[in-house]
Structure 1
Amino acid sequence: MTETFETIRFTADVVVTTTDGYVLLIERGWDPHKGQWALPGGHVDPGETSRHAAARELAEEASLYAMPEELVQVGVFDAPDRDPRGRYVTVAYRFTVIPGLPIEAGDDAVNVQWWPLAALPPLAFDHADIIAAALTRTEG
C-alpha cells in the first residue's frame, strides 16, 4: 500500500463587525480571487499562533489593531475544496468594534471597506459561511 501525503497550509481569518451591523472586507490584490472581497486574513507564520496571525493580518491588511486576546474563536474551516491553491485550513475569529473606526488598505489588500451585513457582495473562498458562523456563534 502506497501512502500519499497532502500539504496542508494553516491560515487565520477575522470577521470584524461593528455594533451597528457592518462587516470589514478587503478587496484582494492577488490571485486567487484577485479583485474579489474577502475577510482579512492570511498564513500563520512559523512560531506564531493562529490568534496572533489573525491580529497581525488585520493590522497589515486594514490598519485595524486588536490584541490577540480580544479575538473570539469562531471555528475551524477545513473543507478540502475551500481554496483553489490546495488544502488550506483556517481558524476564524470574531472581533466587534464601534462604528466609525478608520481603516486603510495595506499589504495584499487593494481596498478595504465596511459593508452592511444585510447587503454583502459576493465573497471569495468560503467567507460567506465564516461570516454566517460568526454571527450564529455570538448571537445564538
Structure 2
Amino acid sequence: MTDIETPETIRYTADIVVTRTDGHVLLIQRGWDPHKGMWALPGGHVDAGETSRAAAARELAEETGVYAAPDELEQIGVFDQPGRDPRGRYVTVAYHLTVIPGTPVEAKDDAVAVRWAPLDDLPPLAFDHADILAATRHHH
C-alpha cells in the first residue's frame, strides 16, 4: 500500500529583470516579509486570468513606475527550485527588459525604495534573485 500525498499548493509568480544599457539593474527594497528590507527584483503574483508576461509588466509598473508592454518582455526561464521561497512552493517565470539610462523610477506599491544597482557591485538579493540575474546575463 502506498501513501497518498496531499498535493502541495503551488503559487505562480512573475519576476522581471530590468537592465539599463550602461550595466545597471533595477532593484526594489522589500517592505514586507519574507526578506523585509532586502533588495529584490520587481515581481509578484500572477492574477487569475492573467499570463505571467502580463503580470511581470503590471508588477513592474505597480512597484517602480516603469511601464512596458508585455510583448516587450523577453522570457528568461522558469525558476521552480523547492525552497526558493520560505512561504512555500513558488514557481516564477522571469522576464527581461532593457531600458536606456535616464529611465525614471519611483518606489510604489510594495516597494519601499527603488534603485539602479551596478551589475558588478550588487547588494545581497532576496530569494533566488541572484540566480535569476545570472541566468539573464548568461542568456544575453
The two structures have a TM-score, normalised by structure 2, of 0.97
Aligned to 1:92: 94
Shift in Å at residue 3 of structure 1?
2.8
Residues 1:120 and 2:122 aligned together: yes
Gapped regions of structure 1 (runs ≥ 5): none
Distance 1:3 1:132 in 2: 34
Q: How does 1:1-140 map to 2 (within 5 A)?
A: 1=2, 2-138=4-140
RMSD (CA atoms): 0.5
Distance 1:26 1:48 in 2: 23
Amino acid at match of 2:131: D
Amino acid at match of 1:100: G
After TM superposition, where is structure 1 displaced by more than 6 Å over at least 4 residues in a row?
Answer: none
Distance 1:107 1:59 in 2: 9
Distance 2:43 2:130 in 1: 14
Kindly provide the CA deviation profile for residues 102-135 of structure 1, in whole angstroms up to 9, marking residues without a partner as x. 1000111000000000000000000000001011
Q: Identity across aligned pairs (percent)?
A: 74
Amino acid at match of 2:86: P
Distance 1:3 1:29 in 2: 35
Gapped regions of structure 2 (runs ≥ 5): none
Amino acid at match of 2:35: H
The two structures have a TM-score, normalised by structure 1, of 0.97
Distance 2:5 2:17 in 1: 37
Where 1:54 maps in the other structure, the secondary structure is helix
Where 2:113 maps in the other structure, the secondary structure is strand
Shift in Å at residue 100 of structure 1?
1.1
Distance 2:5 2:96 in 1: 38
